[in-house]
Amino acid sequence: MKVLVTGGTGYIGSHTCVELLQNGDEVIIADNLYNSKPEVVERIASISGKAPVFYEADVTDKAAIRKIFAEHQIDAVIHFAAYKAVGESCKIPLRYYRNNLDSALTLLECMQEAGCKNIVFSSSATVYGPNNPVPYVEEMPTYVATNPYGWTKVMIEQILRDISTADPEFSAVLLRYFNPIGAHESGLLGDDPSGIPNNLMPYVVRVASGQLEKLTMYGDDYDTPDGSCVRDYLHVVDLAKGHLKALDYAVNHKGAEAVNLGTGNGLSVFELVDAFEASTGVKVNRVVGPRRDGDLPQIWAGTEKAEKLLGWHAEKTVEEMCRDSWNFVVKSRE
Ligand code: UFG
């Protein structure tokens, strides 16, 4: 299959490109390198033994995306390209709405012009909002996001559902990710955010490597077993593999389906940091601080639909997630 991957040099995108290439698919990446580095393209090629076609292109640039569809007979699209920082989205909401909505609309218009009917979309567990009980299951209402980033995911999900209602040939799988961590076992690909990380694992590894002084764990007074927030962490390679299953589903079915990609297990902040220390043997200097605005106490996935519809479940352990996250940092410094 010939697959266009927008945002293919990003954290989840790059791991997905590797899985696609190893599966024998042809990969065309469109990425503006806004939050990633050009050498990721070579790394994807060196792991897979096969090079993706790379376009340095912004998905909001219609002429650039149209050109890609003109030059390739694309069977399906995986749309990762988006701004993704929750806190930043609250400070510059207009930029988030403009970028995330514009890129989705531009891409979908280009797909329509080219007659490409299959898409897998990077959604997020954030669409479940603050009012649903855990575990989150796909049938729950998703119309109340807690931040502009989350709203862009809710809105794009709705756009995809509307297109699939209007066009019976259209097929979309909306993948709701929980908390991806870990890295490729080669140590060549991983989560490498620029600036000070917002997410837990990138922060943990920078403290462990001495690049940052200490980790502040946000809150120990939540109504959870140990008082810290609980999340559903999954290995990014498991997540990447879920995209291949979703792609397969999309090309063989019609309509729009939302599917959670998570392990179904909740792990607290304290437990994750302990697991990191135990599996790497590296200490993480840490303190407990106040709660972070907007954090929900506990989030984890219902996983039945992913298993039933896609035949997918997460396989890797928390130890592997921690070890691979750390290995990526160690390899990056060699
Ligand atoms: N945390 C800390 N210290 C830090 C960073 C995070 O204690 O320095 C805690 C947070 O308070 C939270 C947990 O670690 O309890 C996980 O936080 P992350 O920022 O890693 O992830 P979130 O669960 O807040 O958000 C993630 C994605 C979002 C997505 C959301 C879906 O980053 O894009 O999951 O639920 F929307």
Longest dimension (CA), the chain: 56
Check the CA dihedral 313-314-315-317 and report its sign: negative
Predicted local confidence at residue 239, as pLDDT: 99
* CB of 86 sitting under 6 A from ligand 1: yes
Flag whether pLDDT at 334 surpasses 90: no
Over pLDDT 90: what percentage of the chain? 96
CA–centroid distance, residue 200 to ligand 1 (Å): 6
Burial class from Cβ neighbours inside 10 Å (0-12, 13-18, 19+) for residue 117 reads: buried
Q: Would you call 169 helix, strand, or coil by DSSP? A: coil
* CB of 179 sitting under 6 A from ligand 1: yes
Average pLDDT of span 14-35: 98
Over residues 246-302, the pLDDT tens digits come to 999 999 999 999 999 999 999 999 999 999 999 999 999 999 999 999 899 999 999
Residue 313 contacts residue 303 (beta carbons within 8 Å): yes
H-state helical runs in 115-180: 148-166
* CB of 145 sitting under 6 A from ligand 1: no
Over residues 311-325, the pLDDT tens digits come to 999 999 999 999 999
Over residues 32-76, the pLDDT tens digits come to 999 999 999 999 999 999 999 999 999 999 999 999 999 999 999
* CB of 269 sitting under 6 A from ligand 1: yes
- The rounded distance, in Å, linking the Cα atoms of 190 and 47 is 13
Predicted local confidence at residue 110, as pLDDT: 98
CA–centroid distance, residue 57 to ligand 1 (Å): 29
Predicted local confidence at residue 227, as pLDDT: 98
> CB-side exposure of 275: number of CA atoms within 13 Å?
19
Q: Which of 132, 178, 199, 296 best tests ligand 1's pocket when mutated (most atoms within 8 Å of CB)?
A: 199
Q: Would you call 249 helix, strand, or coil by DSSP? A: helix
Is-above-0.95 flag for pTM?
yes
Predicted local confidence at residue 127, as pLDDT: 96
Q: Whose CA is nearest to atom 12 of ligand 1?
A: 229
* CB of 323 sitting under 6 A from ligand 1: no
Q: Whose CA is nearest to atom 4 of ligand 1?
A: 200
Predicted local confidence at residue 176, as pLDDT: 98
Counting from 1 in the atom list of ligand 1, the atom nearest the Cα of 294 is 24
Binning pLDDT at 50, 70 and 90, where does residue 169 land?
very high
Tokens representing residue 174 in the block: 């909306």
* CB of 99 sitting under 6 A from ligand 1: no
User: Annotated catalytic, 11?
Assistant: no
